[in-house]
Amino acid sequence: MKTSRFLAVLFAAGVVAIVPSAAYGDSGTFSGTITTTACGPMHPIQVAAGETTIDVVATADVAGNDITLELFDPGGNHVAHGDTLTSPEEIVYSSENLQPGTWNAQVCPFQGGIIVEPATYTGAWTTSSGPVVGTPGSTPGGTGSTPVVKHVAGKLSFSPATVVDPQRTEGEPLNFWDGANNYWESGPWGTTTQNSFIHRSSDGGLEFHVDSPVGRRTRPRTPRFRWRAMRRAASRASIRSTAISTRRATRATTSG
């Protein structure tokens, strides 16, 4: 069974960086050289049975070099063309019946777009078995009649909702899976409080716990105790001051 991972492709100074995350499928990288008139070599992409999407991207090492990206199926048929700006270029090809086998990606020069030779490039690809993303189509229902909507069955499934914290409500939470399979959640408690909570689940989201220095609270209890102690001290000082004032008033009356 293939390792579950997703590739986020980042471009910095003409270099492709691959960042693993969570999804399903396979992945790989490639590099090559093109000229003003010749495409680069074919770069194989392995597609397994049940996979539905190919995501391939390429970038010229010189950002000013204008490239195109091509995708071919296992039979050698040209199925997709990527040409938006200069570089990078990307193709996302999806099908519920994606043919398993060896697909190929190829980088080619845009006519008149290569300004520096040799024009080298790097790229990356990933496959996934998630549901095909897109807007369901429709079939015509005849002249003057309402079209018949074509519903496409999806592959998404949902578990029962999990209450992260029944005591603290949050808005617009952030969710994050770390490398140790912990599920983190954080959200603001409210604008007036300017306070946020962080919860962590170590069992795949079945149960969450507040993550803070004391385990159950977002700050230690010491400041509250100190405030109470200060109030008690102030109260005792006030009582002593009242008693002293009373004695002084009594002495003044007696002396008079």
Residue 234 structure tokens = 């102030």
pTM score: 0.47
Q: What is the pLDDT of residue 77?
A: 94
Buried b (16+ CB within 10 A) or exposed e, 211-223: beeeeeeeeeeee
Is the pLDDT score of 106 beyond 80? yes
Structure confidence by residue, pLDDT tens digits, 205-218: 888 888 765 444 44
Q: What is the pLDDT of residue 212?
A: 61
CA dist 233 and 81 (Å) reads 78
- Give Dmax over CA atoms of the chain in angstroms: 119
Cβ count within 10 A of residue 147: 11
- Residue whose token pair is 């040799």: 118
Is the pLDDT score of 141 beyond 80? no
Structure confidence by residue, pLDDT tens digits, 152-183: 777 777 778 888 888 877 877 888 888 788 88
Mean pLDDT, rounded, of the chain:
75
The least confident of 24-28, 49-53, 103-107 is 24-28
Higher pLDDT, 93 or 229: 93
Is the pLDDT score of 220 beyond 70? no
Structure confidence by residue, pLDDT tens digits, 56-103: 999 998 878 888 999 999 999 999 998 887 788 999 998 888 899 999
Q: Is the peptide bond before 88 cis (omega within 30 degrees of 0)?
A: yes
What burial class does residue 235 get, using C-beta atoms within 10 Å of its C-beta: 0-12 exposed, 13-18 middle, 19+ buried?
A: exposed
* Band of pLDDT at residue 124, cut at 50, 70 and 90: very high
CA-based nearest residue to 24, from 45, 58, 48, 44: 48
Q: What is the pLDDT of residue 10?
A: 34
**Domains in the chain, start-ordered, CATH in brackets?**
7-128 (2.60.120.380)
